[in-house]
């Protein structure tokens, strides 16, 4: 990997019209490349609305195979533009087996690798366990022509174990396609606490592992088809942080944006020399991490 890398993320709102959503993603990638981006990250499930607000079997029709239509069309785009693209797809692996999957397309259009979301939430408005089988590919970085990428997805953001395992396997940055927002019941104070916590935990992954973090969230209000709630207001704030957790670029809470920044990859080397967390880990005393809970 070169010592500098220009990365971008596409923060967008989505509608019920899949082709319209895809065109917006394509235009975002083109804009990013026009600004010099070599790596472009799209948000979680960027083809459609965030359909997990309800449990509806007909929505499995949104799923596609990998390889499939999206990897083919975006692969052609990656090759035409000479850019690495991180997609986030609803994968149909087999009848009755579906995953929330990130795919990395290299700049020649080929599939460099994929990551299947490991931590699957099941909360009001986020009924992902109905749709997604937990990932079975482990926490394995994906090698590309630009370097080794640690891809994780949304709910994975809250688990330090996932970030650390990617870093220990040589990931040179952590990338999180995301779909997270506020419910109609959250007060303004609670909304601020949630957003701060979301950014804080990911910035801490950057600090503890000495790696840049790229987190791409969506914006816009999406209604709850069941009518049980007023839906989700996705809070945006997509951001790119450096290896000490410093914010290098940050999006707004409600605007569609393409954020682009050039990372100094030597920074990770410099930070790890003065903050050698990996050196001082006491792995012989960490066995209890393999337990669900330590009963008293």
| pLDDT tens track for 234-266 | 999 999 999 999 999 999 999 999 999 999 999
For helices 160-168 and 188-209, what crossing angle results, to 10°?
A: 20
The domain that contains 53 carries what CATH number? 3.60.110.10
Q: What is the pLDDT of residue 2?
A: 64
Write the DSSP symbol of residue 188: H
Q: Is residue 284 part of a domain?
A: no
Mean pLDDT of the 272-284 span = 96
- pLDDT band at residue 150 under the 50/70/90 scheme: very high
Q: Is residue 287 part of a domain?
A: no
Q: Is residue 294 part of a domain?
A: no
Write down the mean pLDDT value for the chain: 96
* pLDDT at residue 1 greater than cutoff 80: no
Q: Is residue 160 part of a domain?
A: yes
Which residue in the list 24, 91, 154, 257 is annotated as catalytic?
Answer: 154
Please count the structural domains in the chain. Answer: 1
Q: Is residue 288 part of a domain?
A: no
Confirm if 158 and 201 have CB atoms less than 8 A apart. Answer: yes
Which residue in the list 44, 91, 128, 257 is annotated as catalytic?
Answer: 44
Q: Is-catalytic flag, 117?
A: yes
Mean pLDDT of the 215-223 span = 97
Q: Is-catalytic flag, 253?
A: no
pLDDT single digits (tens) 151-163? 999 999 999 999 9
Q: Is-catalytic flag, 44?
A: yes
pLDDT over 70 for what percent of the chain?
99
Range of 165's domain? 4-278
Which residue in the list 107, 114, 117, 257 is annotated as catalytic?
Answer: 117
Q: Is residue 217 part of a domain?
A: yes
* pLDDT at residue 84 greater than cutoff 90: yes
* Neighbour-count burial for 36-50, b at 16+ CB within 10 Å, e otherwise: ebbbbbbbbbbbbbb
Q: Please give the model's pTM, rounded to 2 decimal places.
A: 0.96
């Amino acid at each position: 990997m070169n010592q500098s890398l220009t990365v971008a993320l596409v923060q967008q709102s989505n509608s019920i019209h899949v082709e319209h959503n895809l065109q917006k993603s394509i235009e975002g990638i083109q804009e990013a490349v026009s600004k010099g981006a070599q790596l472009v990250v799209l948000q979680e499930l960027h083809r459609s609305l965030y359909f997990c607000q309800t449990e509806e079997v007909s929505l499995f029709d949104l799923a596609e195979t990998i390889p499939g239509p999206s990897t083919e069309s975006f692969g052609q785009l990656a090759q035409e533009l000479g850019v690495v693209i991180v997609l986030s797809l609803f994968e149909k692996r087999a009848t009755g087996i579906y995953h929330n999957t990130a795919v990395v397309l290299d700049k020649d259009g080929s599939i460099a690798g994929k990551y299947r979301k490991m931590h699957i939430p099941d909360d009001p408005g986020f009924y992902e366990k109905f749709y997604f089988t937990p990932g079975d590919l482990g926490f394995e970085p994906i090698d590309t022509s630009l370097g080794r990428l640690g891809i994780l997805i949304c709910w994975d953001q809250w688990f330090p174990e996932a970030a650390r395992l990617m870093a220990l396997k040589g990931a040179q940055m952590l990338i999180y396609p995301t779909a997270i927002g506020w419910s109609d019941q959250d007060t303004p104070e609670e909304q601020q606490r949630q957003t701060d916590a979301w950014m804080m935990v990911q910035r801490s992954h950057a600090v503890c592992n000495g790696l840049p973090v790229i987190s791409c969230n969506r914006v816009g209000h999406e209604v709850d088809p069941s009518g049980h709630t007023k839906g989700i207001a996705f809070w945006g704030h997509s951001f790119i942080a450096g290896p000490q957790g410093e914010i290098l670029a940050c999006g707004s809470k409600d605007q569609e944006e393409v954020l682009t920044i050039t990372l100094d990859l030597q920074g990770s080397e410099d930070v790890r020399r003065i903050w050698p967390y990996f050196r001082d880990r006491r792995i012989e005393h960490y066995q209890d991490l393999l337990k669900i809970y330590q009963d008293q």
